[in-house]
Every structure is written in C-alpha cells, then in structure tokens.
C-alpha cells in the first residue's frame, strides 16, 4: 500500500502541465497559478482541440488541463486522441459546466479528473497533483525555525493573488445610480468593481498589482464582464459606465467582450492619469482606438475633468460623450469663489466638445443648487443613491420608474419625465 505524500516530501522533477482552453484570460490565469506552485511547471498553451493534441504529442506533458468545450472538435475528441497517442499523459477536464452527462462523457473518454472552473484555486492545484498521485495530500503549514518567514518574490506573490482573484470569482461590482438633475430620472449606472477578499484592499491597489504581474488585461476584463451582468436586470434605457485603462481598451480581446447588442449601452471612462507608455486616445484619428469603439456604438467618458492642463487636453483629445468632474471640485464647491469659477470653466469646455457633464459625490442640496445654476446636467452621489450590490438590482424597480426628488425644499423637485430609450448619455 502506497503512503500518502505531500508536495514537500518528494524530490521528483516538477509536474509538467499543458493548458488547453480557447479563452486567453483563463490560460493567463492558469499559467500564473501553476507558476505559484514550485512542484508544477507550465509547458505551453493550446487554444483549440487540434492544437492540444499536437502540442501534447510534441511536449509530452505529465498533465493536460483541458477545457471541455473547445473549438476544433471539443474536449471529448481531444481527450480520446491524447490518451490514445500519449498514454502516460493524464487529462484533467476543466469546464464551467457541471452537468453529469459532461462529467461522465469526459471520464469515459479517458480523463483522470474533472474540476469546474468555479472551484477554488487550491482544488484545481490539488486535482493536478492527484492526477499523478491519487494519494497526494496538500502540504499543511508547519512552524518555521526562522525569525522571519521566507517570502516569495513580490512579483510571484502579485501574480498568484491576482490569478486567484480572477479564477475564484471574487471580483464583484456595485452600481451607483446617475440621475438627470433637471428631471431626477436615473439614466445610468457607474460600475464600481470590488475584490471580495480579506483584508480589504482598494480596486486601484489590485489594478496596480495586476499591472505589475502582467495580468492587467485579464483582471480588467474579468471586472468588466462582472459589471456587464447588470445590464440584463435593469431597464434597457440605462447606460453602464465602466472605467478602463487605455492599454486594456487598446486590446482586441477587451473590445470583443462588448457584444453588439449591449455596445450602445456601454460608456467607457478614461482617466487623464495614465502611464506615459499607455497608447494615446485621439478622437480625430480615424483608425485609432476611439474610432474603433465608436464604430461599434460604444460611448466614451472623460473622467476627473478639472482645470489642469492634462485634464483639459484629455477632454479635448477624447471629444467625449460624457465628462465627469474631478470629485475634489465637488467637495470644495460653495466654499470658495475659485471652485465655482473652475467648475464653470470645465462646463464651458465640456460644452465646446459636446459632452454632457456628470458631477460625482454630490451630498448636499447647496451643492446641487449650485451645480444646476452652473449648467451641470447629470449627478451622482449620496443625494441620488448609494452604490447598489448586484444582488439587489432586480429589486430597484421604484428607483428606475419613479424620478428622484433632488433638492427637496430648494425648488429642484423632479417632475415626471417620459422615458426615451437611448437618451441617457447624449
């Protein structure tokens, strides 16, 4: 009878793993996850069944992580061919589908194991090990006889944490309502992605880690897909604003995630605070990123609009559909005459490029009244409503159907306004 072994109890060579999945985000994340385990080695990736068969025959990996529903013949065909041509190689089926017929079919075709993509990352790693050794036991933490526990290199820690956040499905979003100041009608939602892990870290901190780990595209794409899930459960005339980095928006994989039917409801927000290496966004470039987005019906927002040169240049270059004021301007509004003048200047600039202006973080009736007098059209913040978790969106019918009463007692009470599909952002 064989004794159970743990990852630290063997000096064998690392288990060589090939990943076969047609979704590049999944491949990138699994590559990072495999790289986090010293007893595993990533040897390559295939994006269809035919390539998976050929790469397995060439690389002779110990384990193939194989997506069940791949182009080029599917996981069943790939599993049969791999187990026939490369008998020592173990196939672990990986899929978002958990129906019994799929599981039985893959096992019958020769797969050694099956793990749903939604399972914790620790289970995925454990399934890889157990494909090679059924008695494998994951190593438990043991006391270290050192003053300071050994740490992985920072980049490895970042890649592991970001990969697990994507694969474990802990990226969520809340949705902050945006209302017309004149009518009180909610016309859009501002997506606020979150990563539901402890200790809590800001989304911006996660973005920085994702960029440092070369997983920025995959991370933002996952957050964007989570945010898009709100559209089917809210009225069709509401738009969804999502802030994205220039480098991610420049990637074809990101743009392909915006299906034609939802594109007119999507507003992509860009901040002027981008790395120097990020691609330029020029509205006048006929072959540029913005032209490509707009050709698909996607609208654009300039975020953090303020008095600085970079901010005004950003506004001019984008010629956006929407422009969002810098939140610090709203907080200082009414306290000094200069803040009033700055907002008035940004309103004028936004008008010159044809953008509707959004004031974020509005808390008081005094702010609301001054914004209305300055000509700001759209507002968001506590005075409109707090961000709404996705699970609570279906129960917000009254919020969508009944215009909000903004600025009670200040003469700003909303009047009923007929809903017109598609007029929310322009």
Read off the pLDDT of residues 31-86 as tens digits, 9 standing for 90 and up. Answer: 988 988 899 999 999 999 999 999 999 999 999 999 888 888 788 899 999 999 99
pLDDT of residue 278: 65
Query: Residue 329: what are its φ and ψ, rounded to 5°?
Result: -65, -35
pLDDT of residue 9: 42
CATH topology of domain 11-132: Rossmann fold (3.40.50)
In sequence order, which residues have a C-beta less than 8 Å from that of residue 9 and are 6 or more positions away?
none
CA dist., res. 173 & res. 194, Å (int): 5
286-341 pLDDT, tens digit per residue, is 778 899 999 999 999 999 998 888 888 889 889 999 999 999 899 888 777 777 88
State CA 5 to chain mean position distance. 38
Q: 18 and 55 in contact (C-beta within 8 Å)?
A: yes
pLDDT band at 6 (very low <50, low <70, confident <90, very high): very low
pLDDT band at 116 (very low <50, low <70, confident <90, very high): confident
Annotated domain spans of the chain: 11-132, 168-401
Average pLDDT over residues 231-260: 92
pLDDT of residue 411: 36
Average pLDDT over residues 206-218: 90
pLDDT(242) > 70: yes
359-416 pLDDT, tens digit per residue, is 999 999 999 999 999 999 999 999 999 999 999 999 888 888 877 777 654 334 434 4
CA dist., res. 301 & res. 318, Å (int): 8
Q: What is the pTM (predicted TM-score) of this model? A: 0.73
pLDDT of residue 393: 93
101 vs 288, residue with greater confidence:
288
pLDDT of residue 8: 43
426 vs 95, residue with greater confidence:
95
pLDDT of residue 149: 37
pLDDT(265) > 70: yes
Average pLDDT over residues 110-138: 84
pLDDT of residue 301: 96
150-193 pLDDT, tens digit per residue, is 444 556 677 788 888 888 888 999 999 999 999 999 999 999 99
Q: 350 and 374 in contact (C-beta within 8 Å)?
A: no
Q: 255 and 293 in contact (C-beta within 8 Å)?
A: yes
Between the alpha carbon of residue 210 and those of residues 90, 116, 195, the distances in Å are 31, 24, 12
Strands 299-305 and 322-325: parallel
The class of domain 168-401 in CATH terms is alpha beta
pLDDT of residue 121: 83
The packing angle between helices 203-212 and 154-167, to 10°, is: 120
Residue 156 per-residue DSSP state: H
Average pLDDT over residues 263-272: 94
- In the sheet with 113-116, reading across from the earlier edge strand, the strands are 40-46, 15-20, 63-67, 90-95, 113-116
């Amino acid at each position: 009878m064989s004794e159970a072994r743990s990852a630290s109890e063997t000096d064998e060579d690392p288990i060589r793993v090939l990943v076969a999945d047609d979704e590049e985000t999944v491949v990138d994340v699994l590559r990072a996850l495999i790289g986090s385990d010293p007893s595993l080695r990533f040897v390559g990736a295939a994006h269809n069944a035919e390539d998976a068969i050929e790469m397995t025959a060439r690389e002779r990996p110990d384990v193939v992580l194989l997506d069940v529903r791949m182009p080029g013949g599917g996981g069943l065909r790939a599993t049969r061919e791999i187990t026939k041509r490369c008998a020592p190689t173990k196939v672990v089926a990986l899929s978002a589908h958990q129906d019994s017929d799929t599981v039985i079919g893959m096992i019958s075709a020769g797969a050694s194991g099956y793990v749903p993509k939604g399972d914790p990352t620790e289970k995925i790693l454990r399934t890889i090990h157990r494909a090679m050794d059924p008695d494998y036991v994951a190593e438990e933490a043991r006391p270290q006889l050192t003053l300071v526990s050994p740490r992985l290199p920072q980049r490895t820690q970042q890649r592991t944490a970001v990969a697990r956040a994507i694969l474990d499905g802990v990226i969520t979003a809340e949705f902050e309502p945006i209302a017309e100041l004149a009518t009180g009608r909610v016309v859009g939602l501002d997506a606020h992605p979150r990563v539901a892990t402890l200790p809590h870290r800001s989304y911006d901190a996660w973005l920085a880690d994702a960029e440092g780990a070369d997983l920025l595209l995959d991370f933002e794409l996952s957050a964007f897909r989570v945010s898009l899930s709100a559209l089917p459960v809210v009225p069709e005339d509401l738009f969804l604003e999502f802030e994205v980095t220039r480098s991610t928006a420049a990637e074809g994989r990101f743009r392909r995630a915006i299906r034609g039917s939802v594109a007119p409801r999507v507003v992509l927000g860009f901040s002027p605070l981008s790395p120097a290496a990020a691609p330029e966004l020029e509205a006048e470039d006929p072959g540029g990123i913005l032209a490509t987005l707009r050709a698909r019906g996607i609208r654009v927002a300039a975020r953090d609009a303020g008095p600085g040169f970079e901010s005004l240049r950003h506004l001019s270059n984008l010629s956006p559909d929407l422009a969002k004021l810098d939140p610090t301007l709203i907080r200082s509004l009414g306290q000094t005459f200069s803040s009033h003048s700055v907002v008035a200047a940004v309103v004028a600039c936004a008008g010159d490029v044809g953008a509707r202006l959004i004031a974020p973080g509005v808390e008081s009736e005094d702010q609301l009244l001054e914004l209305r007098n300055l000509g700001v059209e759209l507002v968001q913040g506590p005075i409109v409503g707090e961000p709404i978790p996705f699970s609570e969106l279906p129960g917000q019918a009254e919020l969508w159907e009944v215009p909000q009463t903004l600025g009670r007692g200040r003469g700003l009470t909303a009047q009923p306004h007929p809903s017109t599909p598609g007029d929310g952002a322009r």
